[in-house]
A and B are shown apart, each in its own frame.
Chain A
Amino acid sequence: MQFFLQQCLIGITNGALVALVALGYTMVYGIIRLINFAHGDLIMLGACLALTLVSAFGLAGGGMVTTWCGVVLLVLLCGLFCGGLNVAVDRIVYRPLRNAPKLAPLVSAIGVSFIFMNIGLFWLGPADRSFPELLPAANLLAGDGLQFTAKDLLVLVVVIPLMVALSLLVKSTRLGKAMRAVSQDPTAAALVGIDVDRVIAFTFFVGGFLGGAASVIYGLYINTISFQMGFQNGLYAFTAAVLGGIGSIPGAVVGGLVIGLVRSLSSAYVGERWTGAIVFVILIVILVFRPEGLLGRGTKEKV
């Protein structure tokens, strides 16, 4: 039982991280129906910046307060960096393609992902790089049983407020309303006076900001970054977004948690070697029975 709980705990923490990345996919998809293949690699660049900042300011080895302040600052800086980068990419690459055939931006996104990877290769070098352990590894739970460290706590502490803030933003603000309007029908949104390009740019910024935050958490939680990390990150996050119902914010969260749990439980009870297959078998089965994802809404056919 304790073993099961431990695996669930790991699954939830991992899943929260996946969900944070998945939000970046789902937001961009929700608004311009683009699978942003470059999102994983954007996060990789965020992690590069985080590593550079941590080394430059010697954050490792500071006191408790310094460390947590440093982490918050890192999240902000990397968030701004990734958000800005995402907006720039949207402006330069995707905006000219708004009226192009549907798959053209997809290929552009793949192209951007390759360019990011090359930048990461020069930034980090070809090998895996160790991200300093800023947080103590001590177990926060009493006793010898369950393991829950400051790192795990960090993931939940950062991810949950960000998600809540995001839902509030989309649900209750003017800008959020505009985002939903553009998502439903860009032409109609433009007709009622919404600056569609600005709303899209803002969405890219928010998605990128969440990605930047995810990159810091990723570095602190997994402690290894490499120029190839974007791919696997993106794969699971994208899967999570679709599983939950792409375009749906709570869906991305649920999808992320499901993926995290499936991964840890299949590693524990079936074997690590089958994990990759089991995640996707479950995905396929769920989609066969719920074609719009767990929380997605059915799209109406236009006649």
Chain B
Amino acid sequence: MLNDRPSGMHDVTGAVPLRERLVAFVRERWELVALVVCAVAPLVVPALGGALGGQVTTLFIYCILALGLNVMVGYTGLVHLGIAAFFGIGAYVFAILTVPMYPFQMRFVTAAAVSVLATAAIGLALGAPTLRLRGDYLAIVTLGFGEVVKVTLRNLEQITGGMKGLNPVPPPGKGVVIGGTDLGLAFAIDPRWFYYLALAALAVVVVAMRRLEQSRLGRAWVAVREDELAASAMGISATRVKLSAFAMSSAVAGLAGCLYAASLSTTADPNAYDFNRSIMVLCAVILGGLGSIPGTLLGVALLVGFDTVLAPWADAAIQQWNINPSGSSLLSFSGWRLAIFGLALVLVMRYRPEGLVPSRRMAAELHKEHP
């Protein structure tokens, strides 16, 4: 399967048939291939300029969110049940900095930067007192934090607009005129602008994660996950390492939040950042394979894609082909959505408990423990 690191370099030397070389290339540089495919897709698939484009953009944003969560759950081994709260904080801070209601009205990039930093700071503030908690106790603190954030966003109406949310969040590049076209207007009209923006952000995050994975810090995360005591004995400060994971994870989630608010042109209501969302993203990360970047992306594509792309499409198709004239919920796709979703989770975990695309390290570990 796909591997984390280039492997089998020696296979592709010499006179190897073109097809195999191609396969090997795809395996090793899957990010590049995926990026090129995604970048070319809108030019080939016209539907991406329509509603589908918006849905795929959302998918990219969730990929970023999941990569953020992966830092904590995958690399550092800390179960986090409240990632949606940081997603929400990112979205709200970004909105406060840009909506006409507030005096700031910053540009997209500035607002996004500030909001990412703010989210990271809040992550640190939550992490600092709670990091000595172990395993599931930490999990419930993050869950509780998520609920607190949701209720607070809902109740602090003066600041967050309550259930109305903050809107309209202006599109990126509003007021920037290129060739007579207001860039903001272009963003608002053609979903492909956001598609490319989200894709670019995702690419940056993937590259950053890849670099982090192999950096000193990334290896420290994994060391702490594997054995905190041994890591401390080796001179790694577990607290600092965990805190940095908390901050990094929150920052990336905050970035996803900015993009989310910008692409919907509203923060949506606080319910968009509730426990369900955290769980969905957590499932995606575990389903794909803990600590594995391609796994995480695949997990999100399957789970979120199912709910936001496939299910609405299937429902519309059932109507258009008039399969279900009586409107019975037994015959509609949405009637079965939860069960299909649940069954998929159960089956994948049953047959691939290490995830769909496990990271090499995880796979090796499992192999060692249970030959």
Contact = CB atoms under 8 A, between A and B. Distances in A.
**Chains A and B in contact, CB within 8 Å:** yes
A122 B331 CA distance: 12
A181 B366 CA distance: 26
Nearest to B142: A284
A291 B134 contact: yes
Contact of A281 (B137, B148, B335, B337): B148
B73 to A, nearest CB: 7
Contacts of A43: none
B106 to A, nearest CB: 29
Nearest to B330: A122
Given A280-B148, A292-B137, A108 B349 contact: yes
Contacts of A110: 279, 283, 342, 345
Contact of B344 (A111, A276, A291): A111
A121 B328 CA distance: 13
A122 B133 CA distance: 41
B140 to A, nearest CB: 4
B353 interface: yes
Contacts of B147: 235, 276-277, 279-280
A101 B73 CA distance: 12
A111 B140 contact: no
Nearest to B341: A114
A287 B137 contact: yes
Given A96-B350, A101-B362, A276-B147, A115 B140 contact: no
Contact of A107 (B155, B286, B339): B286
B336 A118 contact: yes
Contact of B338 (A114, A242, A277): A114
B137 A284 contact: no
Nearest to B140: A242
Interface string A97-125: 10111011111101111111111011000
Interface size class of A (residues with CB under 8 A): 35 or more
B300 to A, nearest CB: 14
A144 interface: no
Given A97-B350, A108-B346, A115-B339, A103 B290 contact: yes
Given A101-B362, A277-B147, A280-B145, A111 B343 contact: yes
B30 interface: no
Contacts of A122: 329-330, 335
A100 B133 contact: no
Interface string B101-123: 00000000000000000000000
A97 to B, nearest CB: 6
Contacts of A101: 290, 353-354, 362, 366
Interface of A: 29, 33, 35, 93, 96-97, 99-101, 103-108, 110-119, 121-122, 126, 231, 235, 238-239, 242, 246, 273-274, 276-277, 279-281, 283-284, 287-288, 291-293, 299, 301, 303
Give me the 8 closest cross-chain CB pairs, A-B, nearest first: A114-B342, A111-B345, A100-B353, A280-B144, A118-B339, A115-B342, A277-B151, A118-B338
